[in-house]
Amino acid sequence: KVDEMMKEMFNFVSSCEDSEVARGIAPLPGVLQTLKTLASERHNKGGEKVACGLVTGNVEGIARRKMKALGILDTGALTPLSEPQGGRIWEGVEDIGFLGGFGSDFCSGNIDDKERNYLDRGEQLAICVQRCLDLSGGKKLKRVIHVGDAPADILAAKAYVDHPTKPLNVCVSVVGVATGSYSAQELKDLCGESKRGIWEPVILKEGQGVGNEKEFLKACGLI
């Protein structure tokens, strides 16, 4: 039934124009420019490639439409994919696929267990990382950075530290941005103790986020 529901959701969004898809949502100031900076630098830092993806509870086909409608896809920051993910074909948006882990890839369907909110997100993160590895051509993955503004994002990244599919010697980080409904302190309290080379969370100051280019790139270790 979950798959059927997701299919109907996608079919509905497919019938909408971009202006309808983007209604009520918009990138925060500076976000598109930061993403363009990442893209213009060819995702490279000292010759080490940085791959960008999207981890979301959204249906993949809907996420593609949203990223297109909001102008995020046009920044070139999201790592494109030439092959379908998860064996699914999203009709009408086949040519705008990008790296990610989505609700259509993993959804426990358990709405009674509050922990599933972040545990499901952790599974979606793990799927995204594995897809990144599949694209890497055998290159070594050094760090996974998850960016989010909610407790589920912090806890999902933290849960991934002990995920059975996480490659050895890969450092996991989360960049918490207090640009949503939660304060920087609330996000920081969930991080727990930092462990060098294993779990290295960073919470930006209140109100700072991806749109604060210098602070964000520094938090990601890119400058």
Average pLDDT over all residues of the chain:
92
pLDDT for position 223: 86
Quote the CA–CA distance of 143 and 172 in Å, as a whole number. Answer: 6
pLDDT in tens, 122-150: 999 999 999 999 988 878 899 999 999 99
This prediction has a pTM of 0.93
Over residues 198-207, the pLDDT tens digits come to: 999 999 999 8
Taking only the tens place, the pLDDT of each residue in 143-182 is 999 999 999 999 999 999 999 999 999 999 999 999 989 9
pLDDT at 46: 55
pLDDT at 133: 92
Q: How far is CA 167 from CA 37, 54, 89, 200, in A?
A: 29, 19, 29, 16
Asked if residue 41 has pLDDT above 80, the reply is: no
| Residue 83 confidence (pLDDT) | 77
Question: What does the pLDDT read at residue 139?
Answer: 83
In this prediction, residue 42 has a pLDDT band, given cuts at 50, 70 and 90, of low
pLDDT value of position 2: 83
Our CA angle for 98, 103, 105, nearest 5°, is 70
Mean pLDDT of 36-55: 76
Predicted local confidence at residue 194, as pLDDT: 97
Four-point Cα dihedral 198, 194, 78, 6, nearest 10:
90
Q: Is the Cα dihedral 67, 208, 103, 76 positive or negative?
A: positive
pLDDT confidence tier of residue 208, bands split at 50, 70 and 90 = very high
Q: What is the DSSP code string of 105-117?
A: T------S-TTHH
pLDDT at 47 over 70: no
pLDDT digits (tens, 9 = 90+) for 93-121: 999 999 999 999 999 988 889 899 899 99
